[in-house]
Amino acid sequence: MMDSAFWKDKRVFVTGHTGFKGSWLCLWLSSLGAKVTGYALEPDVNPSLYHLCNLDELITSHIGDIRDEDKLREALLQADPEIVIHMAAQPLVREAYYHPVKTYQTNVMGTVNLLEAVRVAVQNGKEIKAVINVTTDKCYENNNWVWSYRESDRLGGYDPYSNSKACSELVTSSYRNSFFNPENFESHGVCIASARAGNVIGGGDWSLHRLIPDCIKALLNHDEIIIRNPNSTRPWQHVLEPLSGYLMLAQKLYEAGPDYGESWNFGPDDIDAKPVEWVVKKMCSLWGEDAGYKVENLSNLHEDHFLKLDNSKARVELGWQPRWDIEQRIAKVVEWTKAYRENQDVLKVCLNQIDEFNGLHEVITP
């Protein structure tokens, strides 16, 4: 279980705070009493979870580009954080095919800029203790194996997005070895780790070219859902699951030192790695209202057919584990979306789901 009391008054710097995962993370940290500073571009979707929850009233927000080294460094120095969680990215596989240069600039040089800002901050006497770079399950060289990838498996990435995230992992390793080496921990006091998560789903995601957001848009418009690759299998997990892993890892880095400064997988159990068509069928079933779908081959862009993560390391060494099964995860997306459709207070819906996830009250199983 995550130690909620640890986060009271902790100064946390989050890049990518206006995005889907970043908004959920900042909501959670704010509810725990952390002093959160965010740095990111304005949301690129409308509606956005960030604006729906009025996050700028709960945290300190800096609107800026992760590629702007000077502005990023100034924001980080001003925040004077103890913990840094780097989530800013160009996160879409298909978008990276259309804009590969921007993707590499954001995902690779953005990571360089963030870690360089941390290095400068430490040189200026700031006491940053924990840094987590959030990458992706797609950073591995995917051979479409039936078994799951471990942290020690080879990095790669067929497409620009996946490869840029593998590069980001290498940047993280290089900065750890060169400037924040665990052998010299007493001289700098910084522990750096990377976190790799599966296909994340949850309420409030309106990203383009993603399965669940595409489903939600179709359902809200009473349209038929269109899917491209019905047999592609992914490690689907609710957004709160990897976020809980990041928070547990950050606490370990903060309290236990460089022993945890490594790469970590946060993915669901094998039984919950399901094909796209299975997920869409379940989505339609839970939504009701005559929801349906059809399969169309809309693109010839490469997409991996099979991908799973081995979460054994996080289970054994962090005590982390998935809490909701695949049906509960999809049900929580449907629950959130119907509340949004009915003009309910989505901030309260988010906080309620966080409480359910933490076991503060009963989780309803569909």
Does 305 have pLDDT greater than 80? no
Query: pLDDT tens digit string along 155-213?
Result: 998 999 999 999 999 999 999 999 999 999 999 999 999 999 978 999 999 998 889 99
* C-alpha span between 134 and 322 (Å, rounded): 18
What's the distance, CA 215 to chain centroid?
Answer: 20
328-352: average pLDDT: 97
CB half-sphere exposure, 324, CA atoms < 13 A: 30
Label residue 54 by pLDDT band (50, 70, 90).
very high
3-class DSSP state for residue 307? coil
CA nearest neighbour of 111 among 12, 194, 200: 194
Query: pLDDT tens digit string along 127-150?
Result: 999 999 999 999 999 887 778 999
* C-alpha span between 315 and 328 (Å, rounded): 20
CA separation (Å) from 173 to 131, 176, 197, 263, 264?
A: 12, 5, 18, 9, 13
Does 347 have pLDDT greater than 50? yes
Lowest mean pLDDT among 194-208, 255-269, 297-311: 297-311
> What order of strands is seen across the sheet that includes strand 273-275?
199-201, 233-238, 273-275
Strand-pairing partners, residue 317, are none
Tell me phi and psi for residue 3, to 5 degrees: -90, 95
**Mean confidence (pLDDT) of the chain:** 93
Domains and CATH numbers, the chain: 4-298+306-358 (3.40.50.720)
Label residue 324 by pLDDT band (50, 70, 90).
very high
> Could you write out the DSSP letters of every residue in 73-119?
HHHHHHH--SEEEE--S---HHHHHH-HHHHHIIIIIHHHHHHHHHH
15-34: average pLDDT: 98
* C-alpha span between 19 and 79 (Å, rounded): 20
pTM: 0.94
**330-334: which pairs have CB atoms within 8 A and are 24 or more residues apart?**
330/201, 330/236, 330/279, 330/282, 330/283, 330/286, 331/286, 331/364, 331/365, 331/366, 332/202, 332/203, 332/238, 333/201, 333/202, 333/203, 333/212, 333/216, 333/238, 333/283, 334/283, 334/286, 334/287
Residues recorded for the chain: 366
Does 361 have pLDDT greater than 90? no
